[in-house]
Amino acid sequence: MDLDQPASIADAPTSVSSAAGKRRWLAVLSIALGSFAFVTTEYLPVGVLPKIAADLSVTPGTAGLMTTTPGLIAALSAPLLLLAAGRLNRRSILLLLSVALVASNLVAALATSFMAMLIGRALLGISLGGFWTVALDVSGQIVTEDESAKASATIFMGITLATVIGVPLGTFIAELSSWRVSFFATSALALAALLLQATLLPDLPPRAAARLADFSRMLTRWTVVRSLLLVALLFGAHFSAYTYIAPFLEDNAVLSATWVTALLLGFGVVGFMSNFVASAFVTSHPRLSLSVMTALVMASLVALPMFAHTHGAVVAGVLAWGIAYGAIPLCLSVWMQLTSPDRPEAASALFVSAVQMAIAAGSLAGGVVVDHAGATGAMHLGVLLSVLGLAVLGSFATTGRTLAAVLAQ
């Protein structure tokens, strides 16, 4: 017995360290669940847009404001909340934003008019911008420095899981009962994330209070401005078309609601796998990764209207689109971090603002096109924005220098 005692004592620090490591990763997973709830809430109208439009007596194009409104507000709230937060503990901020997410879903679920629905979606926008700005930064505080990239990828996993499970499941629930039940279910998911975060998140003091000067300095750099334009164009290309994928599949491809749900699920599954495959090489080849994935989006958006009545081609086009978009958010996040490695929170806030502005503008422009030219027109708009994105991407010359050196200049 005595001979075993020294070994037990020696093993104790390892055991404590292992337990602490597990708790840190559980905390990261609680934020990932939050990202899953946020993105499911943001994208949920995509799968049930025709039902909400009919129930609240608006056109599909007008119903697209359910995506435009939170995107626009999130674009403004991301930097403003970061500036207002100052030196507040980031744990408290994340919890407050999760409370707002629960409330947003409840307001949407109980909406009896389209204006009430937009109020709920506006509340989502306020919380969404702050969540992504804070979440992407604190992931590196929770785990060790060498694990920070993995922690960020885990939080981004919430985006792909929302596409894989959240949106198709919300669409399926709406088919079984109603779109209101889908929002109630998402509210329950957000509440679960809130409770886990309250239990698992450690204190997260800010590394430095963000200042307006940080944003001003970044926006005077041409590489940062071009990078934000790149982010806006590529996300805009996706959401100008993806927001109206359900009307396209139902009206142009003449697919049943069951097929629409299955294709949205397939879109998410291949996107989930693509995200993990891309994580292996995106850091070393960010421009090549973005070029290939953007070209694949363009090919899909060109092919879908052309072969809308060939169901096999529609399935292939949607899955190819899912593969491309599964990697694009991670690629662009890495790209933006390369522009300002010394100001990670400010870079995250600008990235979130550009993304949400693109979602708002893309879905709004797509809605206008849909009401005048149908869902096929939204696909063509996505192709145009993708071409412009590739042009901006090609403007980053790296002759004799690494891309990181070019972006950081």
pLDDT at residue 3, as a whole number = 47
pLDDT at residue 231, as a whole number = 94
The secondary structure of residue 147, as a DSSP letter, is G
pLDDT at residue 1, as a whole number = 45
Q: What is the largest CA-CA distance in the chain?
A: 84
The answer for residues whose C-beta is within 8 angstroms of residue 407's C-beta and 6 or more apart is: 223, 227, 335, 338, 339, 396
Euclidean distance between CA atoms 246 and 252, whole angstroms = 10
Q: 312 phi and psi, to 5 degrees?
A: -65, -40
Which sequence spans correspond to the domains of the chain? 22-407
pLDDT tens track for 1-11: 444 545 444 45
Give the burial string for 297-308 (b: 16+ CB within 10 Å, else e).
bbbbbbbbbeeb
Q: For residue 385, which amino acid is it?
A: L
Q: For residue 308, which amino acid is it?
A: A
Site of tokens 């899909």 = 300
pLDDT at residue 175, as a whole number = 84
Cα torsion angle, 222, 227, 230, 232, sign: negative
Locate all alpha helices (DSSP H) within 257-310, ordered by sequence. Answer: 257-278, 286-306
In percent, the amount of the chain with pLDDT more than 70 equals 88
Q: Is the pLDDT assigned to residue 153 strictly greater than 80?
A: no
Cβ-contact 37, 190 below 8 angstroms: yes
Q: Is the pLDDT assigned to residue 324 strictly greater than 80?
A: yes
- Of 325 and 216, the structure prediction assigns the larger pLDDT to 325
Number of separate helices (H) and strands (E) present in the chain: 16, 0
Confidence of residue 90 (pLDDT cuts 50, 70, 90): confident
Q: Does domain 22-407 have CATH number 3.40.50.300?
A: no
Summary mean pLDDT of the chain? 84
- Of 205 and 395, the structure prediction assigns the larger pLDDT to 395
Cβ-contact 236, 332 below 8 angstroms: no
Say whether pTM exceeds 0.85: no
- Written as six digits, the tokens of 23 are 């708790």
Best CA proximity match to 360, nearest among 77, 105, 65: 65
pLDDT at residue 403, as a whole number = 65
Q: How far is CA 141 from CA 16, 31, 152, 206, 344, in A?
A: 19, 13, 11, 9, 12
Euclidean distance between CA atoms 27 and 189, whole angstroms = 16
